[in-house]
Structure 1
Amino acid sequence: MGKGKTLLISVGMEIMLIICITAANLNPTPILYFIFYNLLYGLIFSLFIPLYCLYKENGVSVSGSVLAEVGFKKPGIRQWGVLATFVVFSVGGQLIPKMAVGEQIQWCLLPMGIAPLIMTTFFEEFLFRGFVQSRIDRQFGWVLAILVSGAMFSLYHLGYPGFRTWEDILLLFAVGVGFAAAYKLSGNNLIVSFFVNLPNAFVTYILKYEQFPVMRVSSTIAAAVTLVLIGLILLLYRNTDQRRQ
């Protein structure tokens, strides 16, 4: 994939993500929300299109596996070390100051958000880190790749009404750069970046739940169905990938 095409696809998908998430939040009716969010934002633009681009590239990678190219690799000691370091600082940095002053943490909110946040975190990491960052790193270098990945992660939150302030966007840029750095430092390991992002998402949700879309039982069911579809899609893609090698 040429440099210009990589940037064009990245910009195009970023715009579509913002449009889909904005549309989902304009009308909170469950069926419309899930069509725009789970289906369009998630399965189509964050998974199907990147997988299609990978397929068209003929699976050329050092490891021989297309999915390995986007970071599906078994973690080793180095990866676990990067993961532990980032989680301690990101989660501890949010919780410890609040717990130190006796602020009540709304842990009761977490169960309803687990499945939706796992789903969203996967889409974020697969697209922004596994797909976009890997390609920009290879074509433009790791510095620009980390900055672009962080910027895309930050700006796509413009689709969420609760995150449309300069303060939130700048903070999310810093957070996105951190996730991108974890991905790079771990050797482009999607598992590491996912498990760095996920605890941070859980903590951010219970601390700033009013900024998030409302989590209901229907959200959990829809997210669970979507996660099953993600697993089936990746399994089918892996089998197709193996047959092509």
Structure 2
Amino acid sequence: MIITRIEGWRAWMWASWLVAAMLSLAFLDLTVYGVAVPASALLLAVLTGRVAWRRGIVDKLDLAVVAALYITIVALFRLAFTVFTAANVLGLFLCFGAGLVLGVAVPVFYTVKRGRPLSDLGLGLRNWKQAVVLGLILASIQFAITLFGYSLPAPVGWVPLLVMSLTVGAFETVFFRGFVQQRLGASFGEAPGIAIAAGLYAAYHVGYGMASEGMVFLFGLGVLYAVAFALVRNVLVLWPLLTPLGSFYNNLRNGDIELPWEAILGFADVLGLMAAAVWLGRRRLLRKNAQLDMNPLGPRLQK
């Protein structure tokens, strides 16, 4: 594991901070939230001794792959939502779907290629119980603040949106938390990795055609997600509940996305391709382990 899991009293402090940061969504202005959450996280990191800039261990290949993939995904999303738009549904979905699949498949196969376990991406059973418990607590708070008592439209107005939110949430969790955050943290240190990954998460929304005003809030939200992932190193803390719920509520409230029932099949295909990439990556790791069993002197990969 490239960054050790926070343990003991620090874990309780950070878990408490996560709960407080989630609860503050109920009363803080979104721009204020985007400033207050990172500032409080930095203060707590200083108090708990978690701020350290790692020197002399920069993996240039990691950074190059992160940068190239990030630019490719943002460009595909930008092409989908600002060039093709809803006037060309096929072009929009092909570009959008391609970006989502690449954001999971490339990190999986790159991780395997570098001889790293998929648990580096947060995929697997590592700390899964802690991840599920923490994820349920945070998601329950978010549901109480946003969706509890919310009047849903007709099923066609929210079911396809929910499937889309699950798909996008899977992409964002693996790409931004498991890949970008982990790779940046490995080169620069945990706190800088979280801050830069949160900034990249906020900025990537330009691909959706979002104006800069909302990105301050998204930076704060990105820090919250990043800290939650750093605490347990498992995607289950964020997906399938926390991040999809937030996206689902935001899409419902804005009301600017209308999807037909057929969209469910498209997003299900994208989820299927993501799952297939993870399965194939795991198979490749198992084959490598089997080969290493024949050579006991070689380093063994983790599953």
TM-score, length basis structure 1: 0.83
More helix, by proportion: 1
Alignment partners' CA distance in 2, 1:174 and 1:219: 31
Q: Paired residue for 1:190, among 235, 239, 254? A: 235
The alignment-based identity, stated in percent, is: 18
Q: How far apart in 2 are the matches of 1:6 and 1:150? A: 18
Q: Which of 69, 72, 86 is equivalent to 2:123? A: 72
Contact kept, 8 Å, 1:182 with 1:196, in 2: the verdict is no
Larger Rg over CA atoms: 2
**1:84 corresponds to which residue?**
136
Give 2:211's aligned residue.
Answer: 164
Look up the equivalent residue of 1:84 and give its one-letter code. L
C-alpha contact (below 8 Å) 1:154/1:172 kept by paired residues: yes
* Structure 1 contact 105–207 (Cα < 8 Å) conserved: no
The aligned counterpart of 2:91 is 32
Match of 1:221 in 2: 265
1:76 & 1:8 partners in 2: Cα distance? 30
Partner amino acid, structure 1, of 2:212: T
1:156–1:140 Cα change, 3 Å: same
Give the CA deviation at 1:184: 0.9
Once the two structures are TM-superposed, the CA of residue 173 in structure 1 deviates from its matched residue by 1.1
Does residue 42 of structure 1 match 2:100? yes
Equivalent position of 2:165 in the other structure? 117
- Is residue 2:54 matched to residue 1:7? no
- CA deviation string 1:31-75 (max 9, x = no partner): 211221102x1122x02322232132123xxxxxx2112111335
Instruction: Specify which of 120, 145, 148 is matched with residue 193 of structure 2.
Output: 145
Q: Which runs of 5+ in 1 are unaligned?
A: 60-65
- How far the C-alpha of 1:15 sits from its partner, in A, is 1.9
CA distance in structure 2 between the aligned counterparts of 1:200 and 1:189, rounded to whole angstroms: 19
Write the letter of the residue equivalent to 2:192: L
Query: Does 1:53 find its partner at 2:110?
Result: yes
Q: CA 1:76–1:24 in 2, change beyond 3 Å: closer, same or farther?
A: closer
Distance in 1 separating the partners of 2:58 and 2:220: 28
| Contact 1:128 1:149 survives alignment (8 Å) | yes
> 2:246: which partner in 1?
200
Aligned residues: 226
- 1:16 aligns with 72
Report how far residue 76 of structure 1 moved: 4.2
Any unmatched runs of 5+ in structure 2?
Answer: 1-56, 290-303
Aligned to 1:214, what secondary structure does the other structure show?
Answer: coil
**Residues 71, 19 of structure 1: alpha-carbon distance in 2 compared, 3 angstrom cutoff:** same
- 1:241/1:32 Cα in 2 relative to 1: closer, same or farther (>3 Å)? same
Give the whole-Å Cα distance in 2 for the aligned partners of 1:232 and 1:6: 23
* Paired letter, 2:101: L
The letter of the residue matching 1:33 is: L
Q: Deviations over 1:59-100 (max 9, x none)?
A: 3xxxxxx2112111335442233212322333333346xx6x
> Partner of 2:224 in structure 1?
178
Q: After TM superposition, give the deviation of residue 146 of structure 1 in Å.
A: 1.4
Question: Would you say the 8 A contact 2:198–2:226 is kept in 1?
Answer: yes
Structure 1 residues 76 and 119: alpha-carbon distance in aligned structure 2, compared to 1, 3 A threshold: closer
Q: Helix, strand or coil for the counterpart of 1:216?
A: coil
